[in-house]
Structure 1
């Protein structure tokens, strides 16, 4: 079975579109259609239903999907295992990371990495930590440097690299700005802007309030920390931010029983052989991170 045809099948299944799959694979749409047709002919079954511009998997396509994914992942893993025998650190490394970590934590590490291993082609994908976690879990990327989940699914291996303290922050004009210390219950009386409900950071902060039996007044949510900082700075709400982002635009507030931190680190799939390039980056993170 031609792996190029399987790759095209997975791209169409993922995007639900022949044109988007062609764009992702850097092919023409007719070339993708030809590969799907060849695969359908080889398997003697239709894999996609095409109604107008809508494309959906048939029952046979749904049955093939996990098997095709496993075949391609096994081939990739075999290539990495054989390549690792050379002990050379080279090739392409697909790395997922959040915007915050990519801006505030990774630059010095990546600077040394690219200097030490010039033959590695880094493919850095900026993703929400939760999306990067999911892509590692499903084998779409080799490594991710992210906010670590409070709990991990068993196939995922994590290495803690940084502690990331979080500060409660308000605008300099906020009623609580000049308070010596406040309680979570006092904070709960004012509007808050939180990271999105699906984020690991949201879970960390929410657990603190649940532990104290306080329900915060969450008026807005967003996954972008810079947006949260802007909304806090103009007095719309209070929030929590990594200490590395706190400056004169916002004012930290001491909260009794409110010390909070998240862990940042790297993750990979336990069932996937790390490339020499991936292993070298993990080692560098653990020594220089």
Structure 2
């Protein structure tokens, strides 16, 4: 298989042109063009239409792209496995995580991992949980440590931490005065939450929907620190992770209502993890045993 040609093909498709792909691959543009030409010749199919400076995939190119991604991911997995054989754990651990998990759950684990495996290089990418799932699915990272949502094969999710969510407002917010409030009381005030497509937003919205209530959103943002700031100055209520609750906000007592989400890790069930990734998963499993997490 022409791995160099496939790599160039995916780069051109991802970056929308030969020049950008050449820059990403640290090659000259003619070198990238030659690789694409050889790949097209070997496949006996035109993969791109060149419309002036614009490059678009042909029907054959669109058919090849997901398969090329999968083949390159499998080749990288094989390379890592062979490289690690008989060696101390080294290489690169590619990990996607959300900002919240990265700030509040991973630091201690990362310290332990680097102390145990100083030769391993960390490639940590911060992103929304939903995007982290996609990165694992496409082989861009080996695993994600993030908020867990609905998971389908070939992805496999393992819960590590329970993450309770608390309804929170500013100490001088009208909802802070009563000793107890209902979901209907809360729904009458504007909220600030993560984007509607996020796992956390769905948990909160479904809790209200089950009571026939809808949310009044002042705004959405996926940065929990921003959400907490807006809550603390009285602009809205939110459902904050327990780990973020402090004197800046007041937790509401809502009888009969408990919100919680699962945090954990996601891997691709069809790919071989590098030894570095296996070692980190081992630490996560130990953490799950300690905290009571389990398979989801």
TM-score interval, normalised by the smaller of the two chains: over 0.9
Residues 136, 144 of structure 1: 8 Å contact kept: yes
In the alignment, structure 1 residue 36 sits paired with structure 2 residue 36: yes
Could you tell me how far 1:83 is from its partner in structure 2? Answer: 4.0
> Residues of 2 paired with 1:280 and 1:147: CA distance?
21
Residues 160, 264 of structure 1: 8 Å contact kept: yes
In structure 2, relative to structure 1, the CA distance for the partners of 1:204 and 1:47 (3 Å cut) is: same
> Residues of 2 paired with 1:229 and 1:115: CA distance?
33
In the alignment, structure 1 residue 57 sits paired with structure 2 residue 57: yes
Could you tell me how far 1:15 is from its partner in structure 2? Answer: 2.8
1:188-222 CA-to-partner distances (Å, cap 9, x unmatched) read: 10111111011111111112112222112122111
What residue number does 1:47 align with? Answer: 47
Deviates most, 180-189 or 151-160: 151-160
- Aligned ranges for residues 150-189 of structure 1 at < 5 Å? 151-189=150-188
1:66-95 CA-to-partner distances (Å, cap 9, x unmatched) read: 332232223223224434542632211111
What residue number does 1:197 align with? Answer: 196
In structure 2, relative to structure 1, the CA distance for the partners of 1:29 and 1:235 (3 Å cut) is: farther
Could you tell me how far 1:23 is from its partner in structure 2? Answer: 3.9
Matched residue SS, 2:280: helix
In structure 2, relative to structure 1, the CA distance for the partners of 1:26 and 1:182 (3 Å cut) is: farther
What residue number does 1:229 align with? Answer: 228
1:261-283 CA-to-partner distances (Å, cap 9, x unmatched) read: 11100110000111111111011
Aligned residues: 288
In structure 2, relative to structure 1, the CA distance for the partners of 1:108 and 1:78 (3 Å cut) is: same
Matched residue SS, 2:63: helix
Residues 80, 91 of structure 2: 8 Å contact kept: no
If the length of structure 2 is used for normalisation, what is the TM-score?
0.90
> Residues of 2 paired with 1:129 and 1:198: CA distance?
10
In structure 2, relative to structure 1, the CA distance for the partners of 1:19 and 1:193 (3 Å cut) is: farther
What residue number does 2:206 align with? Answer: 207
1:205-241 CA-to-partner distances (Å, cap 9, x unmatched) read: 1121122221121221111111111221222211111
> Residues of 2 paired with 1:28 and 1:180: CA distance?
68
In structure 2, relative to structure 1, the CA distance for the partners of 1:256 and 1:26 (3 Å cut) is: farther
Structure 1: runs of 5+ lacking an equivalent: none
Matched residue SS, 1:161: strand
Residues 87, 276 of structure 1: 8 Å contact kept: no
What residue number does 2:291 align with? Answer: none
1:81-119 CA-to-partner distances (Å, cap 9, x unmatched) read: 434542632211111111111111101100110110011
Deviates most, 140-149 or 13-22: 13-22
Q: CA RMSD in A?
A: 1.9
In structure 2, relative to structure 1, the CA distance for the partners of 1:26 and 1:245 (3 Å cut) is: farther
Residues 170, 251 of structure 1: 8 Å contact kept: yes
What residue number does 1:256 align with? Answer: 255
Could you tell me how far 1:2 is from its partner in structure 2? Answer: 2.5
In structure 2, relative to structure 1, the CA distance for the partners of 1:263 and 1:38 (3 Å cut) is: same
Could you tell me how far 1:144 is from its partner in structure 2? Answer: 0.6
Matched residue SS, 1:271: coil
In structure 2, relative to structure 1, the CA distance for the partners of 1:180 and 1:64 (3 Å cut) is: same
1:98-141 CA-to-partner distances (Å, cap 9, x unmatched) read: 11111111011001101100111111111111001011112221
Could you tell me how far 1:183 is from its partner in structure 2? Answer: 0.6
Residues 165, 262 of structure 1: 8 Å contact kept: yes
What residue number does 1:13 align with? Answer: 13
In structure 2, relative to structure 1, the CA distance for the partners of 1:230 and 1:19 (3 Å cut) is: farther
